[in-house]
Chains A and B, each alone.
Chain A
Amino acid sequence: MIVPVVPTVLAALFDLSDPPRYLHWHFFQMSVANVIVIALMIAVFAAAVLIPFPKRERTP
């Protein structure tokens, strides 16, 4: 039996068969997936502000 590698590895990392996990603290409740996406957006926003944009060489 041939097992497709990539789907098997991904399925091991991200088990979608179980109910989603939630972070819950007082009134705050959000799925871990959404928390990760929001954290990624904040990280990308900070990187976009801080990392210098490459300068293009001007031809005379």
Chain B
Amino acid sequence: MSDEKRAPVSAAERQMWTTWVRERAVRALPPEKLLPDRQPAYVSSWIYVFGVATIAALIVIVVSGMVLGLKGPTWWHISSLGRFFNSIHLWAVELFFFAMVVHLWGKFFMAAWRGGRARTWVTGAITFLVAIGAAFTGYLSQQNFDSQWIASEGKDGLNSVGIGAFFNVANFGQMYTFHVILLPVVVVALVVWHVLLVRRHGVVPPYPARVKAATASRPAAEEGSAP
């Protein structure tokens, strides 16, 4: 909503934190930027599909994980429906990392941090690292011999890098809490932040398009900024 359409904000209203947050949020992400109906021509490429494929896989992971969490370990080990949901959860994670790595490669070779997009790149990279922790704690939460083996190997690994005192990977309760609450909340929050940054700064243009745009109409200072 533009400022022309709203009544002017009074001095008392300006002191309210809600006004401060709203004005900053709308200034940073006006509705047409938050939910755009068109993208630059260079986005018409398969390489731009893998970010949204990662998010689609994440949604399946969260929903199937909620079902698994509600029903519990006996259900996902014994019943056929439980094993089906267990497999859905596992293969959604496989697709999540597959799409995320291809997305990462694509953005790396585009140097997607150009044009003031460093925070977009960094939030994506941190999401990748946190997701590895989420997947690791998921393997530890299986409640079978595989999880016990991974816990004993993981304990050695964490001890070898000096952080074994902070995490007890053999403690199911602790790892399960990390897996179903703490790390998913961090991953989803980072993904939301990442997408909002993409909306704010725009999709990074490929190198040739950037050069053409710069020579055609843009001043040099705006090179690589939002399309």
Interface residues of A (CB under 8 A from B): 37, 40-41, 44-45, 47-49, 51, 53, 55
Is B44 located at the chain interface by the 8 A CB criterion? yes
How far is it, in angstroms, between the C-alpha of A45 and the C-alpha of B100 when the chains are bound?
11
7 contacts between A and B (CB under 8 A): A37-B98, A40-B98, A41-B98, A45-B47, A45-B105, A48-B50, A49-B45
Closest to B47 in A: A48
Closest to A40 in B: B98
How far is it, in angstroms, between the C-alpha of A49 and the C-alpha of B42 when the chains are bound?
12
Instruction: Give, as a whole number of angstroms, the nearest-CB distance from B106 to chain A.
Output: 7
How far is it, in angstroms, between the C-alpha of A41 and the C-alpha of B152 when the chains are bound?
30
Closest to B45 in A: A53
Tell me the dominant secondary structure on chain B's binding face: helix
| Total A-B residue contacts, Cβ distance less than 8 Å | 29
How far is it, in angstroms, between the C-alpha of A47 and the C-alpha of B45 when the chains are bound?
11
How far is it, in angstroms, between the C-alpha of A44 and the C-alpha of B100 when the chains are bound?
12
Instruction: Give, as a whole number of angstroms, the nearest-CB distance from B173 to chain A.
Output: 29
Instruction: Give, as a whole number of angstroms, the nearest-CB distance from A1 to chain B.
Output: 19
Instruction: Give, as a whole number of angstroms, the nearest-CB distance from A19 to chain B.
Output: 13
**CB < 8 Å neighbour of B46 from A40, A48, A55:** A48
Task: Please indicate the chain A residues that have their CB under 8 angstroms from the CB of B44 in the complex.
Answer: 53, 55
Query: In residues 85-118 of chain B, which contact A (Cβ within 8 Å)?
Result: 98, 101-102, 105-106
Task: Please indicate the chain A residues that have their CB under 8 angstroms from the CB of B45 in the complex.
Answer: 48-49, 53
How far is it, in angstroms, between the C-alpha of A44 and the C-alpha of B46 when the chains are bound?
10
How far is it, in angstroms, between the C-alpha of A53 and the C-alpha of B46 when the chains are bound?
6
How far is it, in angstroms, between the C-alpha of A37 and the C-alpha of B91 when the chains are bound?
13
